[in-house]
Amino acid sequence: MELNITTVVLMGLLAWGGWKEWDMHRAHSAPVLPYTDVTGGRHALNHAMKPTVVGFWIAHCGYSRRMMGVLGRVRGRYAGDQVDVVGFELNRMSDADVASSAANEGYDNGATLAAAQQNDDLIRRLAEGFKIRGPGRDIYVIDRKGRYHAVAAVDWQDHPRDPNRVESEVSARLSDAMMTGF
């Protein structure tokens, strides 16, 4: 069989895409770092007492708005003592403005709002630790052992995925984390 350059490039792209898909679904360790929420509460994602769902957003972003809607519905589905939902606003703004932005994005139903925007080092460490592809592009489910799985809110071509399907995948990951810890 003769391989031409097009075939080799196509095979490489398929292999890379397959690896990215596999990497997206395997468990990773949550970054070891504390953060403060907008009410002054101190937390650490790698030492959660219950499964935690995490999303990163920026104001006025379509991807973020869609993702925040999913996080809001997930938060509404589970009691606060079962699951924690954390939203990190990555714009530079005050805690009051973060809370206002979250309410405008439909994310005001008792979820934790992290004040990550006040600390560039925290944002960098979160981005590296979670391998963030960009605000609103992924939702992360963390188990009690500090391991996380990413659920893609956009596909590999940067097209938004069906929010109901994303919510279903997040819920399935949460169920696994609550029953077995992944």
> Could you tell me the pTM of the whole model?
0.75
Residue 83 lies in a domain: yes
Confirm if 149 and 122 have CB atoms less than 8 A apart: no
Nearest in space to 139 (alpha carbons), one of 125, 154, 128:
154
CB neighbours (10 Å) of residue 83? 21
Nearest in space to 37 (alpha carbons), one of 95, 83, 81:
95
Summarize pLDDT for 55-67 with one digit per residue, the tens: 888 877 888 888 8
Summarize pLDDT for 30-45 with one digit per residue, the tens: 887 777 777 777 888 8
- Residue 151 carries which DSSP code? E
Break the chain down into helix, strand, coil percent, rounded to 5: 45, 20, 35
Token output for 120: 């560039």
| Axis crossing angle, helix 62-77 with helix 163-179, rounded to the nearest 10 | 40
Residue 8 lies in a domain: no
Q: Which domain holds residue 115?
A: 28-179
Please tell me the predicted confidence (pLDDT) of residue 41: 77
Residue 4 lies in a domain: no
Angstrom distance (rounded) from CA 38 to CA 52:
17
Residue 174 lies in a domain: yes
Scanning the structure block, which residue is given the tokens 């696994």?
176
Residue 100 lies in a domain: yes
Residue 72 lies in a domain: yes
SS3 20: helix
Structural domain count of the chain: 1
- Residue 26 carries which DSSP code? S
Residue 11 lies in a domain: no
Sheet of 28-29, strand order: 28-29, 147-152, 138-142, 52-57, 84-89, 112-114
Instruction: Indicate the pLDDT class of residue 24, thresholds 50, 70 and 90.
Output: very low
Residue 127 lies in a domain: yes
| Residues forming a β-bridge with 57 | 89
Domain containing 75 — which CATH number? 3.40.30.10
